[in-house]
A and B are shown apart, each in its own frame.
Chain A
Amino acid sequence: MPWIDACATDDIDQEDLIRFDHAGATYAIYHGVDGQFYATAGTCTHEHVHLCDGLVMDFMIECPKHNGQFDYRTGEAMRAPVCVNLKTFPVRVDGSRVMIEVS
């Protein structure tokens, strides 16, 4: 699986996320409250809405459209109207770069 250079570590404020598009796919990269970086699919599983405009609270990402929530560490759907889990991707930090492993 290829590792992709997604962004710099200081591109994302702590407890926030950004959108990252690559090879026709869209991802969400998070800078968690624990200082770690995480990556999930970029759009909500309820309707095709980009999560990058949503709100990060602790380890939750809340979708901007209907306030569905996912745990961005595991992708687990935590609050209606989302029922289907979000895909997650491995992340590693190389120096000041955030790398994600896309499948």
Chain B
Amino acid sequence: MGKRDYSPFGADAKRAVESGLTAAEWYHTEVPRKVMKDLMARSDSPAIRDTIVLYGLMLAFAAGGIATWGSLWTVPFWLAYGVLYGSASDSRWHECSHGTAFRTPWMNNAVYQISSFMIMRNPATWRWSHARHHSETYLVGRDPEIAVMRPTEVAKLILNFFGILDVLKFFPTLVRNALTGPTPEEKTFVPESEWPKVQRAARIHLAIYLATAAFVVATGSILPLMVIGLPRIYGAWHHVMTGLLQHGGLADNVIDHRLNSRTVLMNPISRFIYWNMNYHVEHHMFPMVPYHALPRLHQAIKDDLPAPNLSIAAGFAEMWPALRRQMRYEDFFVKRDLPPTAKPYREDFHQDVPGIMPANAAE
């Protein structure tokens, strides 16, 4: 395949549509309806508990950081606050955009709006980009949420551990959205009826940032920015670390989430921050299943999936060499073995993907 074109107006996007890839049906593990209904069942209580813990901890850490401001004791408070603000907001944004975290719709919406603000995403735009990410996961030119493009640009990856590129991209887009609505690129996946919502959300977010900046000027201290805005930079590392593992180094242009997504078993703190999105193959295959039921879904379908990576370190040990190889050879990817109990990968679905066919299979 060679050089990839990630533009939604480019050759790869066109090819994905023309070849029928965008309309193809994705592979699903078979799960009896009764079991699936049980897994899909919604409940408010796990997410209410987790939200109270999350926002309670954020308040406590911010209060500690403010109280100790000016001394070295302030550092651990802000490190902890930053991860909750700049990383846990990513998973809350994600789950609530699916509407599965809570059973009650207004609770999903409230947490979705708050976490969209913290993670610096326009709530009206990103709802749609994420729908596309699910329909066309890692189809080049079509999926607007491809985190690691090929060839790998290591400098970009490192900068984004501190949210630098995201933030640099966010503010010009925010101003543009606030003034004129969605950009031409955003218009490719946001329906026209939603364009006014994009503009309204951008204006609200912009007003909050301007008020925070005014507070900084008035007080002569960056403390207000430590609470609002900057944690998206100094606390982003955890969501980038876990986010890269979702699809990094795996196949693109396939229609089987077992080939392009990764499940990684993690420690309980990371799972709280990440809201169980470490069960990523399971989530993509069955987005109806709420985060709190993903461990049960994993148990139900694991015999049909590649073995999960056993830790974050093990995930990186698999992904990092693949990303390095993709710097020179874009078509390289990791093709994980399936257990003997699994339905095999459909080679015939993926004839155009170099390395899927056994004759020249990827390592």
Contact = CB atoms under 8 A, between A and B. Distances in A.
Interface of A: 16, 46-48, 53-55, 57, 62, 64-67, 69, 79-81, 83
Interface string B102-138: 0101000000000000000000000110010011000
B193 A66 contact: no
A47 B193 contact: no
Interface string B61-102: 000000000000000000000000000000000000011100
Nearest to B28: A53
Contact of A62 (B127, B131, B286, B288): B288
Q: Is the interface of B mostly helix, strand, loop or mixed?
A: helix
Given A80-B127, A80-B194, A65 B135 contact: yes
Contacts of B128: 80-81
A45 B127 CA distance: 17
B196 interface: no
Interface of B: 23, 36-37, 40-42, 98-100, 103, 105, 127-128, 131, 134-135, 191, 193-194, 286-288
Contacts of B288: 54-55, 62, 64, 67
Give chain A's interface secondary structure class: loop
Given A64-B288, A80-B127, A55 B99 contact: no
A67 B99 contact: yes
A79 B105 contact: yes
Nearest to A62: B288
Given A67-B99, A79-B99, A55 B37 contact: yes
A57 B287 contact: no
Nearest to B34: A13
Contacts of B134: 65-66
A47 B287 CA distance: 15
Nearest to B22: A47
B135 A66 contact: yes
A67 B103 contact: no
Contacts of B99: 62, 67, 69, 79
